[in-house]
Amino acid sequence: MGVRLSALVCVQNQDAQLAECLRGLSFCDEIVVVADRCTDRSLEIARRAGAVVIAGILPLENQRKLAGLAACSGDWILEIQPDERIDSALAWEIRATLKMGANGDHFEIPVHNYLGDGVVRQGWTGGLGEMDAVRLYRPGVKQWQARRRDAGRVVCGRSAGGLKGAIRRTAGRDVNDLVERFNRLTALRAEDLADACDPGALTPAVAAGLSGFFRSYLLRAGWREGGVGLCLALLAGFYPVVSHLKAKETLGARLRAVAAKPRPGYREVVGFGA
Which residue range forms the structural domain that includes residue 252?
174-260
The mean pLDDT of 86-90, rounded to a whole number, is: 97
CA distances (Å), origin 81, targets 129, 131, 230, 266: 12, 14, 26, 50
Pair (30, 144) in one structural domain: yes
Pair (201, 251) in one structural domain: yes
Q: Which of 171, 197, 217 is the last residue of a domain?
A: 171
Pair (14, 139) in one structural domain: yes
Pair (154, 242) in one structural domain: no
Instruction: With respect to residue 268, please indicate whether it lies within any of the assigned structural domains.
Output: no
Contact between 53 and 67 under an 8 Å Cβ cutoff? The reply is: no
Confidence of residue 40 (pLDDT cuts 50, 70, 90): very high
Rounded to an integer, what distance in angstroms lies between the CA atom of residue 236 and that of residue 227? 14
Pair (88, 204) in one structural domain: no
Output the pLDDT for position 236.
95
Q: What's at 89, amino acid-wise?
A: A
Pair (189, 77) in one structural domain: no
Contact between 62 and 130 under an 8 Å Cβ cutoff? The reply is: no
Instruction: With respect to residue 271, please indicate whether it lies within any of the assigned structural domains.
Output: no
Phi, psi of 99, deg, nearest 5: -65, -35
Name, in order, each residue with C-beta under 8 angstroms of 59's C-beta and a sequence gap of 6 or more.
36, 37, 148
CA distances (Å), origin 96, targets 3, 90, 114: 10, 10, 27
Instruction: With respect to residue 9, please indicate whether it lies within any of the assigned structural domains.
Output: yes
Rounded to an integer, what distance in angstroms lies between the CA atom of residue 68 and that of residue 262? 41
Question: How much of the chain, in percent, has pLDDT values that exceed 90?
Answer: 81
Instruction: With respect to residue 209, please indicate whether it lies within any of the assigned structural domains.
Output: yes
Find the range with the poorest average confidence among 30-39, 65-74, 118-127, 246-255.
118-127
Q: Distance from CA of residue 140 to its chain's centroid?
A: 19
Instruction: With respect to residue 179, please indicate whether it lies within any of the assigned structural domains.
Output: yes
pTM of the model: 0.88
Instruction: With respect to residue 269, please indicate whether it lies within any of the assigned structural domains.
Output: no
H or E segment and range at residue 77: strand 76-80
Phi, psi of 261, deg, nearest 5: -75, 140
Pair (144, 178) in one structural domain: no
Pair (66, 194) in one structural domain: no
Rounded to an integer, what distance in angstroms lies between the CA atom of residue 181 and that of residue 183? 5
Q: How many domains does the chain have?
A: 2
Output the pLDDT for position 264.
67
